[in-house]
Amino acid sequence: MKMIEIRWHGRGGQGGVTAAELLAKAAYVDGYKGVQAFPFFGAERRGAAVKSFTRISDEEINVRSQVYTPNVVAVLDSTLLDFVDVTEGLKEGGKVIVNSPKSPKELDLATGHVYTYDGTGIALKLGLLVAGLPVVNTTMLGAFAKATGLVKIETVQKIICENW
C-alpha cells in the first residue's frame, strides 16, 4: 500500500490534533508499520482554525513536511468551509469527510468524494461534552473508519477507550 495522507481541519479546542494522534495509534494497532501524526498551528487560541496531519503506510515514512496533497480531508467544523479551501491539493479520487448535518450535495464542494455526518448532534445526544462544548473528534474517527475502511471501527473504539 502506498502512503495515505490525511489532513485535519478544525478549530482550536475541538480535538483535531488528538484525532490525528488517535488515528495514527489505531493504524499502528491495525498493522501499519509507518505512522505519523503532528499539528500545525501558531499562537492561535481556542476557536481559531488549525490543521493537523496523519500519515499511514505499510513501510517506514521518511517525509517530514505538512500534508499538501492529502488522500483524505477530515473537517471537524463545517463553518470552516466558508473561508478555508479544505480541498486544496486533494488527490484525484480523494475523500472529504465533514461534520455537518447537511447532505454532501448541499455542501457543494468542487472536488472529491464527500461524506457528511452529524458529529455535533451525535456528541450532544451522547453527552460527549467538555466545558459545555461537544467533543467531535471521536465521532469523526468513527466516521473516518466507516468512510475510508483504512482502520477498523473496533480498533478506533479500543484506542479511544484507552485514552479516556
Whether the pLDDT of residue 56 is over 90: the answer is yes
Of 68, 61, 59, 49, the closest CA to residue 6 belongs to 68
Burial class (CB in 10 A: 0-12, 13-18, 19+), 65: exposed
> Mind listing the pLDDT tens digit for each residue in 118-157?
999 999 999 998 888 899 999 999 999 999 999 999 999 9
Global pTM value:
0.94
Q: What is the pLDDT, as a whole number, of residue 87? A: 96
Average pLDDT over residues 93-111: 94
Q: What is the pLDDT, as a whole number, of residue 31? A: 97
Q: What is the pLDDT, as a whole number, of residue 104? A: 95
Of 112 and 152, the one with more pLDDT: 152
Q: What is the pLDDT, as a whole number, of residue 141? A: 98
Alpha helices in the chain (DSSP H): 16-29, 104-107, 119-126, 137-148, 153-163
Other beta carbons within 10 Å of 66: 13
Mean pLDDT over the full length of the chain: 94
Q: What is the pLDDT, as a whole number, of residue 85? A: 94
Of 64 and 1, the one with more pLDDT: 64
We find that the CATH architecture of domain 4-162 is: 3-Layer(aba) Sandwich (3.40)
Torsion sign across C-alpha atoms 15, 144, 24, 70: negative
Q: What is the pLDDT, as a whole number, of residue 42? A: 67
Average pLDDT over residues 79-108: 95
The CA-based diameter of the chain, rounded to the nearest angstrom, is 41
